[in-house]
Each structure stands twice: as structure tokens, then as C-alpha cells.
Chains A and B, each alone.
Chain A
Amino acid sequence: MNTGGLILIIGSLAAAAAAFIWLGFKIQNGTPAKAAKGRKELIADAAAEDIEHIFNDDFREELRNRGRLHFEKVINDNAVFLQQDLRNTTTQLNEYMRSEITRTLQEEFKKYEQSINDAKQLAMASIQKTVETIDQQREFLEKQIKEQSNAQEERIIARFEAEMAGIFNHYIVKAIGNQIDLSDQLDFILGELEANKQAILEDIKHGAS
């Protein structure tokens, strides 16, 4: 509101006051009843006229403008408050969201970690079981192979022992061939005959021809 407006309003108020004062003097100067009635009517008319005069279109426009300005101010103030509230709310909401998301994520991570741990435990248990099974299988196979190996070794040794004399004999026959004359063996043969003499005599004595 500018200064001109204020001067206008103040001037209007001063004119209204002067009008009231003049009207009061005029009523005191008439007949009592008629004058009182006439004064009242005059006052009412003057008031109505003054009201019409005071609250004219400009004044109303002025009031409307002031009201608009005030309303705008209130709106602006409220907008600021609203904005501030909105910011606060947004901030709180963000914090809330952040905390909620963090909490949810942490819970999910915990669950995920738990799941991973469970899976890890299961995998470890499974691997442990597999390792134990493999170990058992390995021990079983090792035992079987060892048994088979021992059996095979024993078979080979037994066969070798059984055939060994024959092998040596064959080797000796092959090696010496006819190199050893019977005369070289005579002492051996006669010694053997002497050793078996009694048995030969017994055989002749008791044996049926």
C-alpha cells in the first residue's frame, strides 16, 4: 500500500468524522421528537451515504487488493512452511527410507549370508561325506589290490618254487649238456647207490617180481 492510499484513507476517515460532528450539531438545533426522529433518519441516511461514500469501489478494490496481498502473503508464508515441512518430511522420509532400506538390506544380507552359510555347511557336509566315502572306497580298493597282489605274488612264488628245480635242471642240462661224462659222476652215483642199498635189498627181498 502506497502513501497516497494512506492519505486517501485518512482523509476519508477525517471527512466522515467531520460529517458526524456537523450532523450532531444540526440535530440539537431541531424539535425534540420530530427533530430526534429526523436526526435519526438523517444520521442513518448520512451513515448510509458515508458508508456508500467510504466503501466505494476504489476502497473495495483497495481492500480486495490488500486482502489478495495478505492472502498471497499468507499463502507464501504457508508455502514456505509447507516447503520447509515438505523438506523436513522428505529428509525424514529419505532417512526413514534409507534406514528401512538399510535394515531390509541388512536383514536380506543376513538371510543371504545365512543361506550361504547353510549351503556352505551342506556343501561341506556333502564334501566331507564324499571324502569319507572316497577314503573308504580307496581303503577298500587298496585292501583288495593288496590282497590280490599278495595272492598273485604268492601264486607266482609258489609257481616259481614249483618250477624252480625244473628250471635249474633244464638250465644245467642246457649248460653242461653232455660235458659231464658218466665216469665223472661215478662217485656220486655209487654214493647214492650205497645210500639206497638197504632199500634196494629190501625191495628185492620182499618185492614180487
Chain B
Amino acid sequence: MAPLKLTPDVVSQADVTRLNRELDSLDDFFVSAKARPAGSSIAPPKLSHALEALAEENGLNLLDEKARQILADQLAAVYKEAPNFHISFAVEASPKSLERILTWMRQSIHPQLLLQVGLQPTIAAGCVLRTTNKIFDMSLRARLNSQTEYLAQLIKESVDGR
């Protein structure tokens, strides 16, 4: 079985959980549809764009119970096994920007990588990435901290009148 291809709509573990809930509700719908009396109206649950896109991306028919089960199992596996990073930005991340970052990560790091997005205004710019064991501070704050000596030298030169 090919690994599940996650779409950019699926960002975090919360999204995976939500998709799983949607699949469950879809299953429930089909179970109740089977048990319904003939001629009674039926209202299918409204599916999210993320779930539809995920199913389409992976070539799965959501009307098929087996396919739904495969998707649910794979989503559970993703939830359980996929790397889950936490990334913080100085400002609220726009969906487009987040998509680009997520795409890069899934292409470069892990195809099923999940991201938990946070907000940390004190970093000024850039981001702080917390992986399984490490924290990668790629913020402007870290840049400034690393350039303290250069900044001190500049200030000293300015004070000395050079």
C-alpha cells in the first residue's frame, strides 16, 4: 500500500483528527442509509474540501467503504507515526505562506509531516521550529543574538568616532 499523500489542507494533527471524525460520520451515514426505510429522504453529511482533496489526491472513492477504511487507517497511522513539528511565526501565518512552507517540508523532510502552527511575536521575523528533539531558532531575534559582537563593534566604532 502506497503511503498516504497529504494535501496542503492537512496541516496538523488536529486536521487529521478532524478528517477522521468526518470519515466516521460518513461511515455512520452509510450505515444509517442502509438501515433507512425505503422511500425516506436522506441527507448526506457535508464533506470538507480537505477530505475531498485528500481522497482525490490519493485516488480513493469515499463512497467505497473499503477505501474509507484504508483512508481512516492511513490517517491513524499518520497521526501516530508522522513527524509532528511545531512552528512559530512572528505574525499570523496566511494559508498561502503556510502552504508553501508545508510543501517544502513535505518535499524535503518527510512527505507526511504535520505542523502545529503557533504565534510568537517576540521573534520579530522568521520562525522557530521545534522538532522531535531540537529547536531550530530561525528568527530575526536569533540572527541579532548571533551578531551581537558585530553590532557591538559597530556601536563601538560609532562611539569612537571612526
A204 within 8 A of B: yes
Complex Cα distance, B136 from A189, in Å, reads 11
Task: Tell yes or no: A192 within 8 A of B by CB.
Answer: yes
B48 an interface residue at 8 Å Cβ cutoff? no
Check if B94 sits within 8 Å of A173, measured CB to CB: no
A168 and B132 within 8 A (CB): no
Chain A's closest residue to B146 (CB) is: A165
* Chain A: CB-nearest residue to B147: A165
Which residue from chain B places its CB closest to the CB of A171 in the assembled complex? B124
Partner-binding segment picked from B22-30, B33-41, B70-78, B97-105: B97-105
Establish whether residues A204 and B83, one from each chain, have CB atoms under 8 Å apart when the complex forms: yes
Interface 9-mer from A67-75, A84-92, A103-111, A193-201: A193-201
Contact B131 A173 (CB under 8 A): no
Number of A residues whose C-beta is below 8 Å from B?
36
Which residue of A has the minimal Cβ distance to B151? A164
The answer to whether A207 has its CB under 8 Å from any CB of chain B is: yes
| A176 on interface, CB distance cutoff 8 Å | yes
A183 at the interface (CB under 8 A from B): yes
CB of A181 within 8 A of chain B?
yes
> What's the minimum C-beta distance from A156 to chain B, rounded to whole angstroms?
12
A203 and B141 contact, CB distance less than 8 A: no
Q: Which residues of A contact B129 (CB under 8 A)?
A: 193, 196, 200
B134 to A199, Cβ gap below 8 A?
A: yes
Contact A200 B109 (CB under 8 A): yes
Q: Which residues of A contact B127 (CB under 8 A)?
A: 185, 189, 192
Contact B124 A203 (CB under 8 A): no
Contacts known (A165-B148, A173-B124); A203 close to B101, Cβ less than 8 A: no
Tell me if B126 and A180 are in contact (CB < 8 A).
no
B152: interface (CB < 8 Å): yes
Please list 5 pairs of residues, one from A and one from B, whose beta carbons are closer than 8 Å in the complex, sorted by A's number: A169-B122, A169-B144, A194-B108, A203-B131, A209-B132
Q: Which residues of B contact A201 (CB under 8 A)?
A: 109
Q: Does A188 contact B104, Cβ atoms closer than 8 Å?
A: no
Q: Are B131 and A207 neighbours in the complex by a CB distance under 8 Å?
A: yes
A170 to B155, CA, bound (A): 18
Is residue A62 contacting chain B, with contact meaning CB distance below 8 A? Answer: no
Task: Tell whether, in the assembled complex, residue A181 and residue B108 are in contact, meaning their CB atoms are under 8 Å apart.
Answer: no
Taking a contact as CB atoms under 8 Å apart, the answer to whether A165 and B132 are in contact is no
B49 interfacial by beta-carbon distance below 8 Å: no
In the complex, what residues of A have CB within 8 A of residue B144's CB?
Answer: 165, 168-169, 172
Task: Decide: A183 and B83 in contact? CB cutoff 8 A.
Answer: no
Q: Give the CA-CA distance A181 to B84 in the complex, in Å.
A: 25
Contacts of A168 in B (CB 8 A): 144, 151
The 6 A-B pairs of least Cβ separation, nearest first, read A192-B138, A207-B132, A207-B133, A165-B144, A182-B97, A165-B145
